[in-house]
Copies of this chain bind each other. A is one copy, B any other.
Amino acid sequence: MAEEQKITEDRLKKIVEKLYMDMQRGEVPSIVLPTRTKENIQHNTDSNVWTYGDRESVRSFKTVKGAKNLLRMVYTIHFLTNEHLKKNRSSTLRELYYISEGWDLAKFSEQLESDRLIEDIEILTELQRERFHVRPEEDGASIFGPLELREHMRRGDRKIHCQDDVGEAGYPIPFNVDNLEFVSCDAKFVIAIETGGMYARLIENGFDEKFNALLVHLKGQPARSTRRLLKRLNEEMGIPVVVFTDGDPWSYRIYASIAYGAIKSAHLSEYMATPSAKFVGVQPEDIKKYELPSDRLTDQDIKALKSELTDPRFNTPYWRYQLKLQLELNRKAEQQAFAGKGLDYVTNTYLPERLTELGVL
């Protein structure tokens, strides 16, 4: 940990040194960053995830806006180094915004600015914000299943078995999952689940025990910590990850953010994405095959599906077929719709069938 902290401190310092050296040389201090737009996202064939491309934008002291921005960066780096790293403290993104109250000219005028600045620092240091102890407001995703881990806490280490040492709600994932060490994992696969209702259903039905599965509750669009945890389980423990969501375009984006990365955090895709993650469903074809209770697509759904047909992440024969089929059927179905066939149907019939098809069982 001490070595990691040294690296973080050095990289933060390097940003400020660059600005200082510019001034020493009599140049206008500036910083170069990749442009963070959809147009500048490209597939990295080596790592099989989506990252930023070559387009760049420059921040410099040439304009008042640019100068203010760099001034804030220097203040922020000073705070992160002296208050966070040296004292082993942390803050939320919201707190960081308030902390700038005493920074005079460098004060942020809204949280959007401080959030974005933290992203800039992530890109410049090539380190995720957890490394300099900045955390999100809420998390709340959780795990249940045959995994034993050690959590390095401020108050010492805790060894926790995510099936035997936890209550019915499971083990809540902390904001910095790099503080977790996997002690042992007997799971054959990880199943990441969109809704709390389905996560509780699988626990109640003993799915984790029967199929040796590690259940991860995503809580909708998964937080960075959840995606990072899935990536680490896949990479370090060598267990396959499957994703089980509702059958609508918004849920396919949940899958895509796990498998390929999200636009907002494309600079961290290699750190957070799990390209081998497989999509269990609900697939559009399942709506017909399993005669699921379903709803008509809304205009927003149709727009989202059409936008996915032009999204490079969904440009595969499988996804093109499913997305087109859904537009044709004009229906969507939720994962909890399986309850219409009885409380055991999803764990006794649907999931075993789909997991066999995917080669996981």
Smallest Cβ distance from A293 to chain B, in angstroms? 5
Contact of A94 among B140, B167, B336 (CB under 8 A): B336
A-B contact pairs, 18 of them (CB 8 A): A89-B343, A90-B200, A90-B204, A92-B196, A96-B339, A98-B293, A98-B339, A101-B293, A102-B340, A137-B196, A142-B172, A153-B167, A168-B174, A168-B175, A169-B172, A169-B173, A172-B172, A175-B200
Tell whether A86 is near chain B: CB-to-CB under 8 Å: no
Count of residues in A whose CB is under 8 Å from the partner chain:
51
Q: How far is the CA of A196 from the CA of B200 in the complex (A)?
A: 23
Q: What separation, in Å, do the CA atoms of A336 and B336 have in the docked complex?
A: 37
- Cα-based distance from A90 to B196 in the complex (angstroms): 13
Known contacts: A98-B337, A135-B200, A343-B91. The answer to whether A151 contacts B168 by CB under 8 A is yes
Are B174 and A336 touching (Cβ within 8 A)?
Answer: no
Chain A contact residues: helix, strand, loop or mixed: mixed
Which residues in chain A, 155-171, are within 8 Å of chain B measured between CB atoms?
Answer: 158, 160, 165-171
Interface presence of A154 (CB below 8 A): yes
With the chains together, A263 CA to B6 CA distance in Å?
A: 54
Query: Once the chains are docked, how many angstroms separate the CA of A279 from the CA of B196?
Result: 31
- Which residues on B sit within 8 Å (CB–CB) of A195? 94, 137-138
Chain B residues with Cβ below 8 Å from A196 are 92, 137-140
Q: Is there a chain B Cβ closer than 8 Å to A312's Cβ?
A: no
Given A153-B168, A197-B92, A204-B90, is A336 in contact with B139 using a C-beta cutoff of 8 Å?
A: no
A235 in the interface (beta carbon within 8 A): no
- Expressed in whole angstroms, the Cα–Cα distance for A355 and B170 within the complex equals 33
A89 to B174, CA, bound (A): 30
Interface string of A87-107 (1 = CB under 8 A from B): 001111011101101100000
The answer to whether A197 and B137 have CB atoms under 8 Å apart is yes
Tell me whether A334 is interfacial, beta carbon within 8 Å: yes
Q: Kindly state the separation between the CA atoms of A172 and B336 in the bound complex, as whole angstroms.
A: 23
Bound complex: CA of A172 vs CA of B334, how far in Å? 26
Given contacts A95-B339, A135-B200, A138-B219, 9 further A-B contacts (CB under 8 A): A91-B339, A91-B343, A92-B196, A92-B197, A98-B338, A101-B293, A101-B340, A140-B196, A167-B174
Contact: A169 with B174, CB < 8 Å? yes
A336 to B94, CA, bound (A): 7
A293 surroundings in chain B (CB, below 8 A): 98, 101
Closest B residue to A138 by beta carbon equals B196
Q: Residue-by-residue, is A210-232 near B (CB-CB < 8 Å gives 1, otherwise 0)?
A: 00000000010000000000000
A83 engages B343 (CB within 8 Å): yes
Is there a chain B Cβ closer than 8 Å to A201's Cβ? Answer: yes
Least CB separation from A203: chain B residue: B154
Inter-chain CA distance A167–B159, complex, in Å, is: 9
Q: Kindly list chain B residues whose C-beta atoms are within 8 Å of the C-beta of A95.
A: 197, 201, 336, 339, 343
